[in-house]
Structure 1
Amino acid sequence: MSGDAKRGFWEFSLAHYGKPGLSPAVIGLQDRLGADVNLLLYGCWAAAEGRALGDADIARAEATIQLWREQVVEPLRAVRNRLKQGVAPVPTDAGMALRKRVLEAEIAGEELAQNALAALLPEAKAAGNAAAAARHHIDRYLARLAKPPGTEDQAAVETLIRACFG
């Protein structure tokens, strides 16, 4: 996988993440179901690239970034969230400055995870339109999680699909 293709996934994510409703939708799926936002976006990006993700591809993607997420991204997120509340005796402004730097490190960690995922993009072509393929990818991924998606989660998936595919 070329650096351009890896950059393509990151650029896709940056281009769509700021769209109305997308961030709360995917963070809600993360909080309620334990979904990995990078894997949700990967399902959309693969579809946008015209690629099909089967169950084995999704399992491989999960396994590829699991340790990175657990040992790097999630601990950075926990520290960032803790700093938001303030930690005595450090002055609030100093804590917020550190929080910003931790956020930058967390985002850099997310980009590295996406680079690892981009390298896995299969050659198999997706059938049908990109939005339908993305919905299929996301549904297959969410089916692997411990909690079944509820009504709010299904609405979040629809928000994600609309944000990425109109």
Structure 2
Amino acid sequence: MTRFTTAWHPTPVGDVLLAFADGGDLVALHVEHDERTHAIEQMARRLPGALEHDDDAAEAVAAQLDEYFTGARRTFDLRLDWRLARGFTRTALEAVCEIPYGETAAYGEVAMLAGNPRAARAVGTACRTTPFSIVVPVHRVVRADGSLGEYGAHPEVKSHLLDLEREAAGG
């Protein structure tokens, strides 16, 4: 049976639930806007195996998140376990990682980066279902007209992250 470790970390956009595989790789980072109990239940459904809570497991990720939110970190140096993102979803999310800090790209542009120019909607689905909020910067993906979009029904979070990056980047 696979064992996963979870931990919570507070951020300016809400508490994040972190999940790690046995080897310490990050399996998921989810910003919780509602109840922690609901988030744990959702995570348990996505990760078949034992979930154990250990705040110490999050130390390295927590430090990088804190640096990001102060504007001191522009990229994350984390080992990601991609088991929750496969096929084109993973390809699209890896392409999202190429969007420079403080900048945005349209869904169609990300589809081109991912090698499938007609897959803008699939990029939207990948962004909506990403297991790695914030560390895979799906907040940098916008609509073709430049508007932000919904960002999991929390466009204010997307706006906050983009404003933080633009301010830290000096623009």
| Coarse TM-score class (shorter-chain normalised) | under 0.3
- Select the structure that is richer in strand: 2
Larger Rg belongs to: 1
Q: TM-score, normalised by structure 1?
A: 0.26
- Select the structure that is richer in helix: 1
Q: TM-score, normalised by structure 2?
A: 0.26
**Higher RCO (CA 8 Å, separation ≥ 6 residues):** 1
